Amino acid sequence: MGYGVSLHVSGDYALFSRPEMKAERVSYDVITPSAARGVLEAILWRPAIRWVVDRITVLNRIEFESVRRNEVGSKIPPRNVSAAMAGSKVDLHQYINEDRQQRASLVLRNVAYIIDAHFVIIPEKAGESDTPEKFYNMFLRRARQGQCFHNPYLGCREFAAKFRFVEAQGERPISYYANDEDYDLSWMLWDIEYEQKEFKNKTLYSFNPRFFHARMVNGIINVPSEVSL
């Protein structure tokens, strides 16, 4: 197990989309573990480490707001991309004015969380100089200085996240739900596992979403380290 870190994350809006909602986007009540991991990876990502989210503390009251956003209604087909890579002349453009769709979204507003996490070393990808102390100090330096590989976001790229490293226990704000003993958040996306397989000289990609039953006790969600299918 690697060194533990605590990160204060906040933003004006957030959208952690529920996969069961097809046409319109509806957010989970709180940040998902996979989205929390994405914030950590935006600050420090290395092939030799894997971030594991331990706890999520919900600091602000859960509030929703309905907004309408312009979205593109289609994607560029993968076969067109493959044909272009093979040298064929195909159109890879997306024409926004012709493919624009306006959709409603139920988003969170004024969110703030504390993410408690640790990282583990991946032996097959780690070099001789890749030690837990090395990556821990790298994260400390980058988080303290506000450095990141790309700006972290809260579910959608347009909802930017602000972050700061929590140095000591006394710097942790008190949760709005600190006196609520039990808050059932129902089933929530834990993470998505991607698999790569070779089949008949072709590379096939698949993904397996995993869910867990989230419960918030005194404002804290304990995230399981493993979730079975």
Please determine, for residue 228, whether its predicted confidence score (pLDDT) is greater than 70: no
CATH of domain 4-222: 3.30.70.2660
pLDDT value at residue 207: 78
pLDDT value at residue 191: 86
CA pair distance 134, 139, nearest whole angstrom: 9
**Cβ atoms 206, 192 nearer than 8 A:** no
**87: number of CA atoms within 13 Å, CB side?**
0
pLDDT value at residue 2: 54
Going by pLDDT thresholds of 50, 70 and 90, the confidence category of residue 71 is confident
pLDDT value at residue 113: 97
Task: List pLDDT tens digits, range 74-91.
Answer: 888 888 888 888 888 888
Task: List pLDDT tens digits, range 99-152.
Answer: 888 888 899 999 999 999 999 998 888 888 888 899 999 999 999 999 999 999
Taking CA atoms, 110 is separated from 44, 51, 63, 224, in Å, by 25, 26, 8, 26
Please determine, for residue 1, whether its predicted confidence score (pLDDT) is greater than 60: no
Domain boundaries, the chain: 4-222
Task: List pLDDT tens digits, range 11-63.
Answer: 999 999 998 876 788 999 999 999 999 999 999 999 999 999 999 999 999 99
pLDDT value at residue 216: 95
